[in-house]
């Protein structure tokens, strides 16, 4: 059976769906304007992380064509593909995001990217590599046949206050869950995400969910509501653990 909501299920909020696609993607298709070919579009595959608010983060090399293109024209497009597992891919969700890419030296951006992709630490310090943040300008969401929405820039990321509050909690949440509740993390992976649970760890936390590394897979555990503070985060993670045990 093709995954998806039933005919009687209300359509999810487009902005929330768009943010979920961005947060859940390990890779995206990056479109830049080819600097040495009169502005023809150039598409390439990149690994992608997000900052605390949900804006995409890239680690790219000056030797890459897409980086040369960005230095000439910062306008980019990113395609986030959520159609994996659908019998008919065109019934699955995907988001095309337009934005502007700029080099970032923010240590939080570096830390979040490398937590998600630890192997990138081998070359993150090379002189020709730099971290880039893509500031969203608008999104075009296709959530299935006939479900097409424009998503405003402000709706593609979380409000700054919520992003800062989650950032202040991230280190303690990850340490506590991985050290003291490894059994719950294993159940998240096995029963809620359908992945091998042995050795699963949380590698990211934000107001709308957690990033889970299970073996070689990077998975997204969305929250049913936003974690506005530490008490809310504890309650949501405990509720998800109970849900996983009952599954």
> 46-55, 80-89, 134-143, 234-243: which range is least confident on average?
80-89
Instruction: Note the pLDDT of residue 9.
Output: 55
Dihedral sign computed on CA atoms, order 132, 136, 137, 141: positive
Span 63-84, mean pLDDT?
Answer: 97
Token code pair at residue 137: 């300008």
- CATH for 161-246, among 3.20.20.370, 3.20.180.10, 1.10.510.10, 3.40.640.10? 3.20.180.10
Confidence of residue 10 (pLDDT cuts 50, 70, 90): low
* CATH code, 14-157: 2.30.110.10
What is the residue-averaged pLDDT of the chain?
A: 94
DSSP assignment of the chain, as one string? ---S--TTSPPPPHHHHHHHHHHH-SEEEEEEE-TTTTT-EEEEEEE-EE-TTS-EEEEEETTSHHHHHHHH--EEEEEEE--TT-SSGGGS-EEEEEEEEEE---HHHHHHHHHH-GGGGGTTTSTTEEEEEEEEEEEEEE-STT-EEEEEGGGSS--HHHHHHHHHHHHHHHHHHHHH-HHHHHHIIIIIS-S--TT-EEEEEETTEEEEEETTEEEEEE-SS---SHHHHHHHHHHHHHHHHH-
Instruction: Note the pLDDT of residue 4.
Output: 47
Token code pair at residue 146: 């006939």
Confidence of residue 221 (pLDDT cuts 50, 70, 90): very high
| Pairwise pLDDT comparison (16 vs 144), residue with the higher score | 16
Question: How many percent of the chain have pLDDT more than 90?
Answer: 89
Q: pTM of the predicted model, to two decimals?
A: 0.92
> 7-11, 56-60, 151-155: which range is least confident on average?
7-11
Shared fold status for 14-157 and 161-246: no
Span 12-24, mean pLDDT?
Answer: 95
pLDDT at residue 163 is higher than 80: yes
Q: Show me where the domains of the chain are located.
A: 14-157, 161-246
Instruction: Note the pLDDT of residue 2.
Output: 46
Instruction: Note the pLDDT of residue 12.
Output: 76
What's the half-sphere exposure (Cβ side, CA atoms, 13 Å) at 84?
9
pLDDT at residue 6 is higher than 60: no
């Amino acid at each position: 059976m093709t995954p998806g909501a039933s005919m009687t299920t209300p359509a999810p909020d487009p902005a929330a769906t768009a943010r979920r696609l961005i947060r859940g993607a390990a890779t995206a298709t990056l479109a830049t304007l080819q600097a040495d070919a009169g502005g023809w579009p150039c598409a390439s595959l990149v690994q992608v992380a997000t900052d605390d608010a949900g804006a995409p983060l890239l680690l790219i090399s000056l030797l890459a064509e897409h980086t040369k293109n960005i230095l000439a024209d910062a306008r980019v497009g990113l395609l986030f593909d959520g159609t994996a597992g659908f019998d008919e891919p065109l019934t699955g969700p995907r988001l095309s995001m337009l934005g502007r890419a700029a080099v970032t030296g923010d240590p939080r951006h570096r830390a979040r990217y490398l937590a998600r992709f630890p192997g990138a630490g081998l070359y993150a310090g090379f002189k020709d590599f730099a971290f880039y943040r893509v500031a969203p300008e608008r999104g075009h969401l296709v959530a299935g046949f006939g479900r097409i929405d424009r998503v405003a820039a402000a709706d593609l990321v979380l409000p700054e206050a919520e992003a800062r509050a989650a950032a202040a909690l991230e280190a303690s949440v990850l340490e506590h869950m991985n050290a003291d509740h490894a059994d719950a993390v294993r159940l998240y992976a096995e029963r809620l995400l359908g992945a091998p649970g042995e050795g699963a760890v949380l590698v990211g936390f934000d107001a709308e969910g957690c990033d889970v590394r299970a073996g070689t897979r990077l998975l997204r555990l969305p929250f049913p509501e936003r974690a506005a503070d530490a008490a809310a985060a504890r309650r949501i993670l405990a509720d998800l653990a109970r849900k996983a045990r009952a599954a």
